[in-house]
Structure 1
Amino acid sequence: MLETAFDNLRAGTSAILSAPFIAELNSPDWMSRLTDQCSAMGADVGVIWIRCDAASMRKHMEIRRATRDAWKLDNWAAYASSLDTDNSPSAAHISVDNRLGAATSLIDQTRHRLKRILA
């Protein structure tokens, strides 16, 4: 995924990666390398952390009906016990709230924060 993003950056095209990168975002060395690589290509790195609780995650998966979620839903107790929904990355980031019942929709929160990042 990163190599594809780097290919886009080298071609002068912005890239947005949608992946957890949980361990990586908690590694100052990884973030430093990523920031340096992107800076060398004239790009800035911005991290948006999507906050969600286990109940909301389950509902999103049920609605999505993706094959990749089948094991998680069939083994929800085991899967949910592996989640740390109170943790956010140590890297600088902007958070958006994806919990069910959030006061502002995920789309509106993300749009607002992206405007701040890109300004």
Structure 2
Amino acid sequence: MATSRPRLTPPESLHQQIARNIRNEIEAGVLRDGQVLPSTRDLAAQWDVSVFTISEAMKVLMEEGLVVSQSRSRRVVRAPAQPVPQSEYRTSTPHVIFIGGFAGSGKTELGRILARQTGWPILDKDTLTRPVVEAALEVLGMSPNDRESATYLDLVRPREYESLLAATDENVGCGNSAIVTAPFLREFGDAAWIGRISAQMSKYRAQVTLVWVFCDEPTMQAYIRHRGAARDSAKLADWNGYIERIGLDFRPVSPYELVDNSASSSPLQEQAQELLKAILASESE
């Protein structure tokens, strides 16, 4: 597994940060083979960077064969067909991979890459709960994008994770492995919670793996700005304060695998493959 790297400054690696995020979206299946990318100017506006930076990012992706230039203004995604999951991923007992990380770290992209490779279901907290959470917040007289108030943190958030874990339990109870993605900030810092989940999964003889996705601050900020989610507005409005509050040195209190999604690290696809090797190897021990 990759380890944490020194923080990079945006001028040194901004095009690499953008290339990495687009690469992750291709490998996660968000951007598909044959899809036409927006123009250089449109991408520059989306990422809030210069057209030169986008051109440099495109050069990286073209050198890797992930993007093909058909004309000066038309670039197309080139992603090989995802292979049918091999029998090696049909394990004798279920595996549950809990993937945590800060907003914009790349945890969902890692989950999708693993799901595409293994055929295991991906259970993402936002996908499963966001519409209901937003409706609940509005009923409570709050903004549907609130993720900071005591009302959200103490009343709504616990129910989000309750739903996520219920879906996990249902899948694993049917004998399926599962990839579960959420920030897991409180949870990974709580040894008692981790112990309870491990005990719950042991009923099904399931192996639990915790994964923490680290991402350096500039890469994380660039991705959050790009995705433009309303729930991120408070973070971006006080970015320095947000970084101080979360503490990028956070790590789970129990044994875990670390994936480094910083611009200077190896591609997420390669780290996903190494992660799977480690998980499958532990089954035979």
TMscore range, shorter length: 0.7 to 0.9
Change beyond 3 A, Cα 1:115–1:63: farther
- RMSD value, Cα: 1.5
| Greater strand proportion | 2
Q: Give me the identity figure in percent.
A: 34
Shift of 1:75: 2.6
Indicate the structure (1 or 2) with the bigger Cα radius of gyration: 2
Counterparts of residues 31-50 of structure 1 (less than 5 Å):
31-50=194-213
Residue 29 of structure 1 aligns to a residue in which SS? helix
SS of the counterpart of 1:49?
Answer: strand
Normalising by structure 1, we get a TM-score of: 0.88
- Letter of the 1:94 counterpart: E
Residue of structure 1 equivalent to 2:256: 93
Correspondence for 2:267 among 102, 105, 111: 105
Residue equivalent to 2:240: 77
Are the counterparts in 2 of residues 46 and 117 from structure 1 also a CA contact under 8 Å? yes
- 3-state secondary structure, aligned to 2:259: strand
Match of 2:179 in 1: 16
Partners of 1:79 and 1:27 in 2: how far apart? Answer: 21
What are the Cα deviations for residues 60-119 of structure 1, in whole angstroms up to 9, with x where unaligned?
Answer: 2123333322332233222222121112111100101111222x0122112211221123
CA distance in 1 between counterparts of 2:175 and 2:238 reads 43
Q: How far has the Cα of 1:13 moved from its partner?
A: 1.4
Whether 2:279 is the aligned partner of 1:114: answer: no
CA distance in 1, matches of 2:210, 2:273: 14
Deviations 1:23-69 (A, max 9, x none): 22222211111111001012110011101222221012123333322
- State the one-letter code of the partner of 1:5: T
- Ranges in structure 2 where 5+ consecutive residues have no aligned partner: 1-163
Please give the secondary structure, in 2, of the residue aligned with 1:16. Answer: strand
What amino acid is the match of 1:73? L
Residue of structure 2 equivalent to 1:6: 169
Q: 1: distance between equivalents of 2:223 and 2:270? A: 18
Q: Does 1:64 align with 2:227?
A: yes
Give the whole-Å Cα distance in 2 for the aligned partners of 1:58 and 1:38. 35
Aligned to 2:133: none
Q: Give the whole-Å Cα distance in 1 for the aligned partners of 2:272 and 2:226.
A: 21
In structure 1, the gaps of 5 or more residues are none
